[in-house]
Structure 1
């Protein structure tokens, strides 16, 4: 919790600060003001979570400053401190939206309790927004239709600045995981140090080797800190963290987005991100530059997507990668990439970064790919077939558990894992013991039972959350699997809970 204190008496400020620091050491006093004008400047510049102010101050009283600051920092919460003779001012502040007022002398336990309540509300509101943003990004990456809950926050109140970070590496998975976690920790430290720039930041791993960073900004531009210096510092931070065998490529938008634009932008970035292979990893790319490349040289997108698919296949021991490498050789010749020294060099840098083999950068990409095919063959020969099958099915089941709430089909999953639907159906039934459809239905009904037991969501919302767009179909399936209607099941849970009490 970032707090500004305003009072024209030094010892009054010291008294409040001591109460707050004793209440929770994590609460930070980011600014102190001795009059209304100083308060306005501090709040406008720092955008604090909370301002605790005295009504009676020189130059501009607390109420006048509060009115002015509401425009420049609408997310800041306000607590008014007043004497009995200033009570009418405190009442007016409450009417204008201040959270509470306290009379002098302020009692430590009351102020501490109030700040703690406000902090809990702030954290809860940010968590709701961030979870919604996470779901929106995940839906976009998986090209899903977003399902909105009745409890969602008003996302149109903010602008969003988004960046996707792609990590390319040939290191062992365990080492990559450690580096990813360490990078995530450092990134959050960097964001914390620049907390006054934004209303909030969301940073998390959305896929293996892909991080999403979202800055939440208020729409009002008056008094809002400039992002220009911050963006330069952030890009420098990313460059400093990138390594030859663990390369970070940053793709950023050129402007702030509305919430409704996030999904479209994420899909477009994910589609164009493979272009980094020919135009340079370990760099910062503006989205409009990649879009321009794709517009004039669309065949490059196809070739680069084939390369990234081969990298993923190699990582997951899929023998289809050998065929893709042969396809890459043909595509390489068709696109005449070996005739372009700069693209040839960047392609080889990417291949050396993502495959654990060392070749000379002067070597031709086609020779490099021939070596890779040989490496693929020798690697796959020593991989146990049963182990690969179990690992493959684990990946399929994990994908289902992360996406059961969507309209999954076995054809979609088969395409994702580069095998035929018939083969996947046979493999799944033989090794899991039930059909794909029954497996998904079981998972959905189990999740529905959990939601009905621990939430007050209406049946229609629960149905949507577990993948049923038709409420009647959900009720029918739920009855077939549990013997109860959803409403009967909820009543049974409540009755059992009442008996236990």
Structure 2
């Protein structure tokens, strides 16, 4: 947690710094200012959580500096210092949004109490801004809202973005992945909360295909380098989480976008990563693959369609759909033969390692030849099909299970990846099947269902709009209102009024 101190008296600044160093909380003094102009520069550069400001300073008073400083760092909280027991200063400071007003000389326990109260309030506001960013980002990525609806000077247009897509690969016959997926999602959301800072926005959102993505954004204006560093720290922690989640039972590959200018470039790169996701099997799954590397692999002749065909066949085998897998493997053989002649040794080693992970019983030797892989895959499928018990022959319709689950849990945090884990199938398979059968993506279906439930509550109850938003699964009334207006063409509050 960062703060800055602005006071023209060195002994005052020194005393406050000394008190802060002795406190248990992890406060960092990012800078000191002797006048209002210096304070404005510090605010633009560091976007601190809290600023401790003397009301009387040379060049520009503390109160005037706050008026200007709120533009450069809108989420900064203010503690006012004064050597004058004049209530007028306190009144003016409170009008400007100051959280605390203290008289000099400041005592250590008084400062600690003020910092705790101010930061708690500021932290809640910071997390609220982050949650709103995540809600809007998810709606934009899943096509529920248009970026044209966002403010032109807002972060979706003017900000810099970085993104990462998580591709988990579990072995056939391994344990149910639902618990691991839930634990990983919770770890990511805790990571977002832990790295939330002024001037940056962080979120974990589901993509249309069911994958999870982490996104960080920062402003291009003052403090850009600091924002970029904070987002880099967040992604460093995210990569550590993915590495810890990888092991014998599951390997998480992280596909990274690199730096993007605005949401449109981020969205295009996330879509491209999803399109090229299957190429990770030629690069080294379970680690990090960046956007440029995947595009480089896609430029190799025939590699992209081969990766798509092979990944689909492996997914069918892993999920126990052996008859479909045999057909897919038959279609694979011509392109496989061409790649076998032209493919690089590193690609072949990576592919064998991937196959041994997702199909432990395949029997491919480490460093072995790839020429016999199609035959080995067919034999694996035939053997598994013979071993399957008759009671497994009939499968419950997965789309019907999704519809039933969503009807019961629409008011909770729910995603296609989470349901896929419960059904023990891959998110991409379930997402594609759901779209094919229903004609809409999962997120659009969920949103329509929630909006329908909201309409019923608006017309059939006297609940407030905020209560209705929460009842159908939205923590943010503002975000709920956006979606409702997009669906029905009216604000929720106007929907009850007779036309």
Could you say whether these structures have the same fold, taking a TM-score greater than 0.5 normalized by the shorter chain as the test? yes
Q: Is the 8 A contact 2:144 2:483 kept in 1?
A: no
CA apart distance, 1:276: 0.7
What's the CA shift string for 1:170-217, capped at 9, x where partnerless? 176656444445545655666667656962322356589833111121
Write the deviation string for residues 393-437 of structure 1: whole angstroms up to 9, x where unpaired.
314655897799xxxxxxxx999229986xx99xxxxxxxxxxxx
Partner of 1:47: 47
Equivalent in the alignment of 1:310:
313
CA-CA distance at 1:77 after TM superposition: 3.5
Correspondence 1:92-131 to 2 at 5 A? 99=98, 102=101, 104=103, 116-131=120-135
Task: Report whether the alignment pairs 1:275 with 2:279.
Answer: yes
Aligned in 2, Cα 1:443/1:198: closer, same or farther, shift over 3 Å?
closer
2:496 aligned residue: 487
Residue 128 of structure 1 and its aligned partner are, at CA, apart by 1.0
Aligned counterpart in structure 2 of residue 257 of structure 1, from 242, 261, 268:
261
**198-207 or 48-57: bigger deviation:** 198-207
1:204/1:213 contact within 8 Å kept: yes
RMSD: 5.4
Which residue pairs with 1:345 in the alignment?
A: 349
Question: Structure 1 residue aligned with 2:433, among 408, 412, 417?
Answer: 417
Query: Is residue 2:332 matched to residue 1:328?
Result: yes
**Cα distance in 1 between the residues matched to 2:196 and 2:431:** 42
Q: Is the 8 A contact 1:205 1:212 kept in 2?
A: yes
Give the alignment partner of residue 360 of structure 2, picking from 345, 356, 360: 356
Asked if structure 1 preserves the Cα contact closer than 8 Å seen for 2:167 and 2:211, the reply is yes
Q: Distance in 2 between matches of 1:133 and 1:213?
A: 11
- Corresponding position of 2:376: 368
Query: Relative contact order, CA 8 A, sep 6+: which one is greater?
Result: 2
- Determine the C-alpha separation between the residues in 1 that align with 2:486 and 2:171: 41
Contact in 1 for aligned 2:210/2:431 (Cα 8 Å): no
Q: Is the 1:320–1:418 contact (alpha carbons within 8 Å) kept by the matching residues of 2? A: no
Of the structure 1 ranges 44-53 and 352-361, higher mean CA displacement relative to structure 2 is found in 44-53
1-side partners of 2:268 and 2:392: how far apart?
Answer: 41
Q: Cα deviation per residue 1:87-143 (whole Å; 9 max; x = unaligned)?
A: 998899889x66467252688998876655444333322211111112333x1xxxx
Which residue is 1:495 aligned to? none
Closer, same or farther: CA 441–359 of 1 in aligned 2, 3 Å: same
C-alpha contact (below 8 Å) 1:444/1:467 kept by paired residues: no
* Partner in structure 2 of residue 36 of structure 1: 34
- CA change 1:252–1:403 in 2 (3 A) is closer
Matched residue of 2:382: which SS? Answer: helix
Q: Which residue of 2 aligns with 1:248?
A: 252
Rounded Cα–Cα distance in structure 2 between residues aligned with 1:454 and 1:187: 32
Q: Name the CA shift for 1:329/1:234 in 2 (closer, same or farther; >3 Å).
A: farther
* Separation of aligned partners in 2, 1:243 and 1:414: 24
Kindly state the Cα deviation for residue 218 of structure 1 after the two structures are TM-superposed: 1.6
Distance 1:110 1:419 in 2: 53
SS of the equivalent of 1:123 reads helix
On the 8 A contact 1:278/1:346 being kept in 2, the answer is yes
**Structure 2 match to 1:384:** 392
Alignment of 1:287-306 (within 5 A): 287-294=291-298, 296-297=299-300, 299-306=302-309
Residue 270 of structure 1, CA deviation:
0.4
Within a 5 Å distance, the mapping from 1:207-222 to structure 2 comes to: 210-220=211-221, 222=223
Say if 1:192 and 1:4 are closer, same or farther in 2 by CA, change over 3 A: farther
Alpha-carbon distance, 1:40 to partner: 7.2
Gaps of 5+ in 1: 405-412, 426-437, 473-484, 492-501
- Residue 147 to residue 314, structure 1, CA distance change in 2 (3 Å): farther
1:467-486 equivalences in 2 (<5 Å): none
Taking structure 1 as reference, are residues 209 and 299 closer, same or farther at Cα in structure 2, changes over 3 Å only?
Answer: same
User: Structure 1 CA distance, aligned partners of 2:193 and 2:448?
Assistant: 43
**Aligned equivalents of 1:440 and 1:182: distance in 2?**
25
Correspondence 1:8-157 to 2 at 5 A: 8-9=11-12, 13=16, 28-31=26-29, 35-36=33-34, 46-56=46-56, 62=62, 73=73, 75-84=75-84, 99=98, 102=101, 104=103, 116-137=120-141, 139=142, 144=143, 146=145, 155-156=156-157
Q: 1:417 to 1:192 in 2, by over 3 A?
A: closer
In the alignment, the residues of structure 2 paired with residue 336 and residue 415 of structure 1 have an alpha-carbon distance, to the nearest angstrom, of 32
Corresponding residue number in structure 2 for 1:394: 401
Question: Do the aligned partners of residues 419 and 235 (structure 1) sit closer, same or farther apart at CA in structure 2, a change above 3 Å counting?
Answer: closer
Structure 1 position 389, deviation (Å): 2.0
Alignment of 1:231-246 (within 5 A): 233=236, 237=240, 240-241=243-244, 242-243=246-247, 245-246=249-250
- State the match for 1:201 in structure 2: 202
Give me the whole-angstrom Cα distance separating, in 2, the residues matched to 1:162 and 1:98. 34
SS at match of 1:368: helix
Cα drift, residue 246 of structure 1: 2.7
The 1:334/1:440 distance shift into structure 2, 3 A limit, reads same
Q: Secondary structure at the match of 1:389?
A: coil
For residue 465 of structure 2, what is the aligned residue in structure 1? 455
